[in-house]
Structure 1
Amino acid sequence: MKVKVQTLDAGKGGDIELNDEIFAVEPRADILHRVVTWQLVNRRAPARAARERSDVARTGKKFGRQKGGGTARHGDRKAPIFIGGGKAHGPRARVFTSSLNKKVRQLGLKMALSAKARDGQLIVIDNLDVAEGKTKTLKQQLGKLGFGKTALVIDGDALNVGFARASSNLESVNLLPAIGANVYDIMRHETLVLTRAAVEKLEDRFNG
């Protein structure tokens, strides 16, 4: 698959040949759904347990007479009805993790990249060099390129410092290194933007 390479100043940077085994795979909704679900489950933080009656450090002495005190009968101060007592039926400690076959994860990423390429939502640019790292300059350049309402920009091994600084105040633009490319972030952005370096790293990632 041959794609036109653009530059940030809306110029032409030649053509690039994309690997059809990565960027021309027929997407399947069930595979994408499995990968996204796996990602979101693993992003969940562990659940913290509440201290129940047996966990709180309070006196176990019966603090009143059984009868004749004019109040309800109580055993100790650990009861859930008292301030400082244990919580009744509180949350348990849980760790939310899920596993997914590596081949399915790789296939999901290929399908996500292919879906963007098929729908015309994939843009390849030469590099991310921004003059003086100015947000105003970058915003004008992105308006000419037509990045859409939201754009995920993927660079090579290291992020371009000038672009990262300029795009930090733009809510519609997110930046990731090639190693951080994932199905969830790709699918939830309207436009996927890859640099030449990102294309090389992604192809090496699958071929390696």
Structure 2
Amino acid sequence: MKVKVQTLDGAKAGGDIELNDEVFGLDPRADILHRVVTWQLEKRRGTARGARERSDVARTGKKFGRQKGGGTARHGDRRAPIFIGGGKAHGPRVRDFNPSLNKKVRALGLKMALSSKAKDGKLIVMDNLDVDGGKTKTLKEQLGKLGFGKNALVIDGDALNVAFARASSNLREINLLPAVGANVYDILAHETLVLTRAAVEKLEARFNG
């Protein structure tokens, strides 16, 4: 699959780039993408803290009053939920959200997410992300000509371009990630996927290695 390489300043870039069909040319499957996105979101959740119930509270179990004649209710011990310091009735239980998903399924999901953007024409390959002076105004003018859509996920190589990161930090519609941080959820959550040449090389090497 050949894709035209673009530049931020609109100048003529170095021709086309050949994308690996095994990474960018697959037919996306909704079930695989759903499994990977669900796994990602569950991994983000922290452990739910449990509350102490009657059996967990360290208080006396001795009956503290007479069954009759005391003028009060017939309580058995101070661990009852109605007393201060008593156990909580039907409290939350400890839940640890730590799902597992096969590595091959995760890798396949990422390939399908990349392929879905390429298939829909929402994949843009940039030669580099150099922004003169790292100015937000300059970058915004350049993005208006490129047609990034409502929002875009920009993936760079090993290290992020400092000037682009500084210029895009004030733009809500632009999110920047290194190649190692590429993931299915963020790719699908953005209208446009933007990859640099370095990002394409890293992603293809990631699956071929």
Match of 1:78 in 2: 79
SS for the counterpart of 1:76 is: coil
Give the structure-2-normalised TM-score: 0.91
Specify the code of the residue in structure 2 equivalent to 1:25: L
- Whole-Å Cα distance in 1 between the matches of residues 135 and 52 of structure 2? 51
SS for the counterpart of 1:192 is: strand
- Whole-Å Cα distance in 1 between the matches of residues 67 and 31 of structure 2? 63
Structure 2's unaligned 5+ residue stretches are none
- CA deviations on 1:146-184 (whole Å, 9 max, x unpaired) are 111111111111112222222222221111111111111
State the 1:132 CA deviation. 2.5
Specify the code of the residue in structure 2 equivalent to 1:131: D
- Pick closer, same or farther for the CA change 1:59–1:111 going to 2, 3 Å: same
Match of 2:109 in 1: 108
Q: Percent identity?
A: 84
Match of 1:173 in 2: 174
Specify the code of the residue in structure 2 equivalent to 1:112: A
- CA deviations on 1:13-62 (whole Å, 9 max, x unpaired) are 22211111111111111221222122222222111111112323445454
SS for the counterpart of 2:55 is: coil
Match of 2:10 in 1: 10
State the 1:119 CA deviation. 0.7
- Whole-Å Cα distance in 1 between the matches of residues 70 and 167 of structure 2? 72
- Pick closer, same or farther for the CA change 1:146–1:88 going to 2, 3 Å: same
Choose 162-171 or 109-118, whichever is displaced more: 162-171
Match of 1:131 in 2: 132
1:29-68 equivalent positions in 2, closer than 5 A:
29-68=30-69
Match of 1:88 in 2: 89
Maintained 8 Å contact 1:4/1:12: no
Specify the code of the residue in structure 1 equivalent to 2:3: V
Choose 146-155 or 100-109, whichever is displaced more: 100-109
State the 1:70 CA deviation. 2.1
- Whole-Å Cα distance in 2 between the matches of residues 123 and 151 of structure 1? 10
Provide the aligned length of Structure 1 versus Structure 2. 208
SS for the counterpart of 2:13 is: strand
Maintained 8 Å contact 1:121/1:190: yes
Specify the code of the residue in structure 1 equivalent to 2:36: V
Choose 133-142 or 61-70, whichever is displaced more: 61-70
State the 1:190 CA deviation. 0.4
Structure 1's unaligned 5+ residue stretches are none
Q: CA RMSD in A?
A: 1.7
Maintained 8 Å contact 1:138/1:167: yes
Choose 145-154 or 57-66, whichever is displaced more: 57-66
Choose 63-72 or 107-116, whichever is displaced more: 63-72
Matched, 1:163 2:161: no
- Pick closer, same or farther for the CA change 1:12–1:70 going to 2, 3 Å: farther
